[in-house]
Amino acid sequence: MNNTDFSSLGLHVDLVKNILSLGYSKMTPIQAQTLPDILKGSDVIGEGKTGSGKTAAFSLGILNKLDVKNFRIQSLVLCPTRELADQVASEVRKIGRTIHNIKVLSLCGGAPFGPQKGSLKHGAHIIVGTPGCILEHINKGNLALSYVSMFVLDEADRMLDMGFQPAVSSIVKHLPTNRQTLLFTATFSDDATVISSKIMKDPKIIRA
């Protein structure tokens, strides 16, 4: 139970090798407490302060589940800002760099829409973006999410503070109901409780 070795999780061997090569020698507490349930396929709410390693926790969940030969959008990660989405996309790419042909796409406002649309035409396995931008691509018919099996809300408290709750709810309507949903946050507020009860199934709540 208290094992903090990445090798104790039953992750794909290449993921473990790569994470060790990145200098992540032990799991942080939030990783050690959430990853067993994430890898089992449960919905998980993870509360942990900034810098506790939440990104790698859900990135490993996404990447371990990914079927790279199936070139469809399998995971969607929502972040409150473009800066955070870019950070998450780069962490996912770093942790997934041993997976041949993996495609991670970041979709955020402020970046030109046309090239994003073009990138979507070429396809991706994992999309990371801000709610407004993701919703715009859905509404314009650029983004189909019917093969998403993993949905992540990162920095959920900030996303709700910024008024993204209606956009998140609209996006969820386009996702398969048969999916895994993860929610990460620095503080688990009442608003987060309300949204999680609407979009998650019997989530395991973990406070690190």
Q: Which residues bind ligand ADP (CB under 6 A)?
A: 24, 26-28, 31, 48, 50-56
Residue whose CB is less far from Mg ion, 17 or 53: 53
Q: Name the one range near Mg ion by CB under 5 A: 48-56, 67-75, 126-134, 160-168.
A: 48-56
Smallest CA-to-CA distance from 170 within 191, 190, 199 is with: 199
Contact between 187 and 49 under an 8 Å Cβ cutoff? The reply is: no
> Which backbone phi and psi does 27 adopt, to 5 degrees?
-70, 145
Alpha-carbon distance of 166 to 183, in angstroms, equals: 16
Tell me how far, at minimum, the Cβ of 101 lies from ligand ADP, in Å: 24
Contact between 120 and 143 under an 8 Å Cβ cutoff? The reply is: yes
| Beta strands at 44-47 and 180-185: parallel, antiparallel or unpaired | parallel
Tell me how far, at minimum, the Cβ of 202 lies from ligand ADP, in Å: 24
Tell me how far, at minimum, the Cβ of 183 lies from ligand ADP, in Å: 13
The entry of Mg ion, ligand ADP, none near residue 28 (CB within 5 to 8 angstroms by kind) is ligand ADP
Beta bridge partners, 53, equal none
Helix (H), strand (E) at residue 198: helix 190-199
Residue whose CB is less far from ligand ADP, 28 or 169: 28
Residue whose CB is less far from Mg ion, 119 or 189: 189
Residue written as token pair 């019997």: 202
Residue whose CB is less far from ligand ADP, 31 or 165: 31
The entry of Mg ion, ligand ADP, none near residue 112 (CB within 5 to 8 angstroms by kind) is none
Question: Which residues have CB under 8 Å from 197's CB, separation 6+?
Answer: none
The entry of Mg ion, ligand ADP, none near residue 149 (CB within 5 to 8 angstroms by kind) is none
Q: Which residues bind Mg ion (CB under 5 A)?
A: 54
